[in-house]
């Protein structure tokens, strides 16, 4: 049984169907990348899985438990944590206070302040610093740490590396490998397709809310990915 099982969901914004008939299975210890152009529906998907947006049809299960009708706070207790697009730290709080907000309604498990500080060793000496003073990459690490504080079984990350320096991206990807080694299932949105395909066990591409391509990175060739990403091969950059 998959840890995260999404079957045939639709998600609407008013009359707009932003996600159509979406399904995916993510196993414990594996990472699935969601790619797609701006407006493809990636954040809508992540927010629906986290329970921030309702689905209009279909089901979402965690380890066989149907969470489709649960509100977001109850899904945290079921083991879903979201690192939202734009990180959304509490700017008036310190680094450590931001991490502690993730422990509210936490499940029992291996993650606590010490474990997060082991994962990101630069954090302890800056624990009292205002989150306003953190760089984009540092904020992303805090946002991931905050999500881990709830001891998730399923970690959702929207825009993993957007706006981060390559060295920080490398560090954050290394931390993700540790996180999945602990048995988490990770579903992540990544603008950088090359990065996504380098680390993910499976990848899927959304176009106008539909899955137009899915497979292991080895199965997906560059031309097919470009076609799926932009809708037409002709629209891809670098093509005539
Ligand atoms: N709160 C909202 N109300 C109405 N429409 C919305 C809302 N949020 C998103 N949409 C629309 O839903 C579609 C999918 O948007 P979404 O933000 O999920 O895309 P995305 O793939 O995350 O894009 P990006 O790469 O820019 O983050 C778009 O057409 C967008 O305009
Ligand atoms: Mg988005």
CA dihedral 156, 145, 164, 92 (to 10 degrees): 110
Per-residue pLDDT, 41: 97
Report CA(122)–ligand 2 centroid distance (Å): 28
Mutate to test the pocket of ligand 1, among 10, 12, 16 (most ligand atoms within 8 A of CB): 16
Secondary structure (DSSP) of 156-206: EESSSSTT--HHHHHHHHHHHHHHHHTT-EEEEE-S-HHHHHHH-SEEEEE
- As residues whose CB is below 5 A from the ion ligand 2, the structure lists 42-43, 85
What pLDDT score does 239 carry?
40
Q: Is 18 touching ligand 1 by the criterion CB < 6 Å?
A: yes
Q: What distance in angstroms lies between residue 121's CA and the mean position of ligand 2's atoms? A: 29
- Going along the chain from its start, the domains and CATH numbers come out as 4-93+153-235 (3.40.50.300)
Question: What's the confidence (pLDDT) of residue 240?
Answer: 37
Question: pLDDT at position 71, please?
Answer: 95
State the 10-residue block means of pLDDT for the chain, 240 residues long. Answer: 96 97 97 95 97 97 96 93 90 95 87 92 94 90 93 94 84 88 93 91 96 94 86 51
Give residue 18 CA to ligand 1 midpoint distance, Å: 7
């Amino acid at each position: 049984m998959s840890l995260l099982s999404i079957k045939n969901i639709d998600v609407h914004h008013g009359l707009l169907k932003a996600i159509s008939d979406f399904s995916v299975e993510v196993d414990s210890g594996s990472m699935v990348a969601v790619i797609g152009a701006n407006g493809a529906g990636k954040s809508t998907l992540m927010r629906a899985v986290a329970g921030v947006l309702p689905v209009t049809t279909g089901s979402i299960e965690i380890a066989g438990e149907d969470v489709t009708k649960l509100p977001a706070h109850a899904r945290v207790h079921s083991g879903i944590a979201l690192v939202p697009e734009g990180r959304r730290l509490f700017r008036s709080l310190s680094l450590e206070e931001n991490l502690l907000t993730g422990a509210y309604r936490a499940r029992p498990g291996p993650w606590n302040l010490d474990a997060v500080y082991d994962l990101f060793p630069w954090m302890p000496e800056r624990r009292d610093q205002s989150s306003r003073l953190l760089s984009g990459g540092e904020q992303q690490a805090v946002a991931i740490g905050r999500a881990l504080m709830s001891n998730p079984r399923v970690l959702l990350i929207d825009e993993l590396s957007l706006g981060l320096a390559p060295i920080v991206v490398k560090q954050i990807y290394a931390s993700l490998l540790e996180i999945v080694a602990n048995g988490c299932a990770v579903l992540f949105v990544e603008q950088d397709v090359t990065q996504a395909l380098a680390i993910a066990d499976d990848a899927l591409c959304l176009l106008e809310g539909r899955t137009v391509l899915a497979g292991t990175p080895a199965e997906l060739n560059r031309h097919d990915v470009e076609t799926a990403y932009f809708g037409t091969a002709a629209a891809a950059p670098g093509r005539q």
